[in-house]
Structure 1
Amino acid sequence: MRVAIFFGSKSDKEVMAGAAKALKELGVHYKAHVLSAHRVPEKLMEALKAIEEGGYECIIAGAGLAAHLPGVIASHTVLPVIGVPIKAELNGLDSLLSIVQMPKSIPVATVGINNSYNAGILAVEILSVKYPDLKDRLLNFRRDMKDKFIKDNGEGIEL
């Protein structure tokens, strides 16, 4: 169980840390890469080849502004790609639309703006189809989340 995380700039590290957090919580190995589809496309292609040869099974890619990184990655692999629109200009709407509007036959699953944590959870859901032990961890995670919510809110709150 391996997931690769890509983002185009060191300034995106804080946003993309949520994906790593979700994967860590559920015991999924990951490796993060700072690579730009525009500035170092050759290095990106080398990294994609290495992750495919290294047994990675899913990719999370965050991008702001024109947000080409997830789409470029998806065009060079058949591994599932989850795009994370990163807030830059236009409150991230430009990034969201750039990622979600992929051409027919080259999909990128897309989560909410700056919500890399959900990208990590979605990667776990994708992998859990293949790994029963991961599916069990995910079910326990959800059960614990529900129990905590009920404990924190079940008796009502004071306003």
Structure 2
Amino acid sequence: MPLVSIICGSSSDEEIAKKAWEVLKGYDISYEYQVLSAHRDPEQLDDYISKSDAQVFICIAGLAAALPGVVASKTKKPVIGVPVSGKLMGGLDALLSIVQMPKGVPVACVGVDNGENAAHLAARILESSTSL
């Protein structure tokens, strides 16, 4: 059972996912990696979220960056959003999309392209949940 699920909205975001899974490996935290778009694969995404045993989701997305918010709307587990830099706005569009979640749909957000901090935050979440 993976403790962390890393989901990318596009396979082009895999380099950022690698940053996250390298940090998770350093903590010896199990993870799995999926490429599922909130726009192109909504049914597959819903199915994956509902069946996942992961305790934390890291969602990596650019442009409109809907993925973290969609995942957060489908689970009560912590969701960490990683905005991806883009060609036009350098990731500002994705950053603003992730941090502007409606009340009741919280998403933690790390810096643009910062998969490492997403993994460090996931490790802290997991650590704090086992020490309660």
TM-score bin, normalised by smaller chain:
over 0.9
- Residue of structure 1 aligned with 2:58, choices 57, 60, 63: 60
- Following superposition of structure 1 onto structure 2, how do residues 94-109 of structure 1 map, counting pairs within 5 Å? 94-109=93-108
CA distance in 1, matches of 2:24, 2:56: 12
Structure 2 residue 13 is the aligned partner of structure 1 residue 12: yes
Residue 131 of structure 1: how far off its partner (Å): 3.4
Residue 105 of structure 1: how far off its partner (Å): 1.2
One-letter amino acid of the structure 2 residue matched with residue 7 of structure 1: C
Could you tell me which residue of structure 2 aligns to residue 83 of structure 1? 81
CA distance in 2, matches of 1:68, 1:58: 17
CA distance in 1, matches of 2:94, 2:129: 31
- Structure 1 unaligned blocks of 5 or more: 133-159
- Following superposition of structure 1 onto structure 2, how do residues 1-159 of structure 1 map, counting pairs within 5 Å? 2-51=3-52, 54=53, 56-88=54-86, 89-131=88-130
Residue 129 of structure 1: how far off its partner (Å): 1.2
CA distance in 1, matches of 2:58, 2:26: 16
TM-score (norm. length: structure 1): 0.79
One-letter amino acid of the structure 2 residue matched with residue 37 of structure 1: A
Task: Give the secondary-structure state (helix, strand or coil) at the position aligned to 1:82.
Answer: strand
Task: Give the secondary-structure state (helix, strand or coil) at the position aligned to 1:90.
Answer: coil
Residue 50 of structure 1: how far off its partner (Å): 1.6
TM-score (norm. length: structure 2): 0.94
For the pair shown, the structure with the greater C-alpha radius of gyration is 1
Task: Give the secondary-structure state (helix, strand or coil) at the position aligned to 2:85.
Answer: coil
Equivalent residue pairs, number:
129
Structure 1 ranges of 4+ moved more than 3 A: none
Calculate percent identity across the aligned residue pairs: 49
One-letter amino acid of the structure 1 residue matched with residue 90 of structure 2: N
Could you tell me which residue of structure 2 aligns to residue 135 of structure 1? none
What is the aligned-residue RMSD (CA, Å)? 1.0
Residue 48 of structure 1: how far off its partner (Å): 0.4
One-letter amino acid of the structure 1 residue matched with residue 16 of structure 2: V
120-129 or 12-21, larger mean C-alpha shift: 12-21
